[in-house]
Amino acid sequence: MLLHYPNKKTEQEIFNSIPDVELEQINSSDSHNLLIQANNLIALKQLITKHKLKDKIDLIYIDPPFATNNTFTITDGRASTISNSSNGIIAYTDTLKGFDFIEFIRERLVLLKMLLSDNGSIYLHIDYKIGHYVKVVMDEIFGIENFRNDITRIKCNPKNFARKGYGNIKDLILFYSKSDNLIWNEPKIPYTEEDKIKLFPKTEKDGRRYTTIPLHAPGETQNGKTSQAFKGILPPPGRHWRCDVTVLEQWDKDGLIEWSDNGNPRKK
């Protein structure tokens, strides 16, 4: 999967076209941390050649320009207020478009893949207008088999500048790995004791906490397996049992259904 467009370089041409620039070192600390202020292509090549980080980076997150054809400024002297306002100090220009923008992104992704370890992952933040082209570029570089997720990022300030169209409420985060051997940390947070009490307010005789959910769901069926009577009870109007009545019978035998004082069954 790849895009064809004018002046598309090979990966070797990209690497060879980046000048070898000696960057001035401001802090002589022995720390392994680096903060490089430079053209990011030059910085990426420095990480590969000078700092010997090829195939050693486990995690990359980038937030490139979105091909908006705007100039973004810093207002009130605060980087957190970057916007496309005409007032303030220029933070960056986002004026590349078309295949010039695509090659701009591709050049950087080629070097980022060189830096990524076999266990590494890359996350790229982009918008809905250009994101589908960027995904094809990432499919080409990292392999479509290494595409992991398209993560939706809901905007804190949704906009709709088109009178005939839905609101612009989200961006994309494209998640790729370099191989099947990626490092994966399950995104889970342990429940606190307060969480357990709130989410599982009931207690079994053996001390285990639990909650209950309805046995029925929206949507009415007629003469189907999920519309039959269970223990002489039909689903409420406009609803159906979540599963076959024979399954409900088995759940009841296994003690997985709780009956309220007024005879309403709920699944534990």
Backbone angles phi, psi at 3, to 5 degrees: -105, 140
* pLDDT, position 34: 83
* pLDDT, position 213: 94
Q: What pLDDT tens digit does each residue of the chain (268 aa) get?
A: 788 989 999 999 999 999 998 888 887 777 778 888 888 999 999 999 999 999 999 999 998 886 666 665 666 555 544 445 455 555 556 667 788 889 999 999 999 999 999 999 999 999 888 899 999 999 999 999 999 999 999 887 666 666 677 778 889 999 999 999 999 999 889 999 999 999 999 999 999 999 999 999 888 777 788 889 999 999 988 899 999 999 999 999 999 999 988 889 999 9
* Sequence-separated (6 or more) residues with CB below 8 Å from residue 150: 135, 172, 173, 174, 175
Q: What angle do CA 202, 206, 208 make, to 5 degrees?
A: 45
Q: Is the pTM of this model over 0.85?
A: no
* Sequence-separated (6 or more) residues with CB below 8 Å from residue 11: 110
Q: Hey, how many other C-beta atoms are within 10 angstroms of the C-beta on 67?
A: 22
* pLDDT, position 81: 46
Please report which helix (H) or strand (E) contains residue 100, including its range: helix 98-115
Q: Where in the chain is the domain with CATH 3.40.50.150?
A: 11-23+35-177
| CATH number belonging to domain 11-23+35-177 | 3.40.50.150
* pLDDT, position 71: 62
